[in-house]
Amino acid sequence: MRLFLLIMFMLCGCNKTDRPFLQLERFGDHQTALYIVEDDGTVKFGGGFDALSGKTTWEGQLTVAQLSKLQELLRTDILQSNEFDDSNRFEIVIHESDVILNYVVPLTDPFASEVYFILEESTMQRIQSHLDSLPKPTMDVISDRKTKGSKH
């Protein structure tokens, strides 16, 4: 029995759990999103049902400027959890050393919204190649649209 406990301690007790620097979940009427940010700027994203089940489906990297801005925002200590009856909310978990800070704030919270917009901007990379591959209108098409639009 002692040998079993010693082995379990060695396997479980000595492993350091890698906690993300930041986890942000956004719950809205028509959108659910999950962002997980590691200390090195790796950002993971999951949306819709994946986010609801805690899964991420895309991984990318924050730019140095984005990571710096995010760290600066989180150091300001502006977030305050609120009591509210709305299911439209941000749930934010910040890991600082051995301290875990949990916040639940409405989608109207300006601080949480700014953090969300930085993360949303960083994950636009996942669709940028598709956007870049779309055909671009020529000046003839643009002129034709303006002409047709002005007749009505």
The pLDDT tens digits of the residues spanning 118-150 come to: 999 988 877 777 788 888 878 877 777 766 655
Percent of the chain with pLDDT over 70: 82
> Per mean pLDDT, which range of 8-12, 78-82, 91-95 is the poorest?
8-12
**Max Cα distance, the chain (Å):** 88
The per-residue pLDDT for 91 is 94
The per-residue pLDDT for 24 is 96
Report yes or no: 81 and 129 within 8 Å, Cβ to Cβ: no
Q: Above 80 in pLDDT, residue 18?
A: no
Region 88-92: mean pLDDT is: 94
Report the candidate in 69, 56, 48, 49 with the shortest Cα–Cα distance to residue 117. 69
Tell me the three state secondary structure of residue 106: strand
Q: Which residue has the higher pLDDT, 137 or 60?
A: 60
The per-residue pLDDT for 17 is 54
pTM for this prediction: 0.72
Report the distance separating Cα 8 and Cα 17, nearest Å. 16
Going by DSSP bridges, is the β-strand pair 42-47/32-37 parallel, antiparallel, or unpaired?
Answer: antiparallel
Residue 69's CB is within 10 A of a number of other CB atoms, namely 15
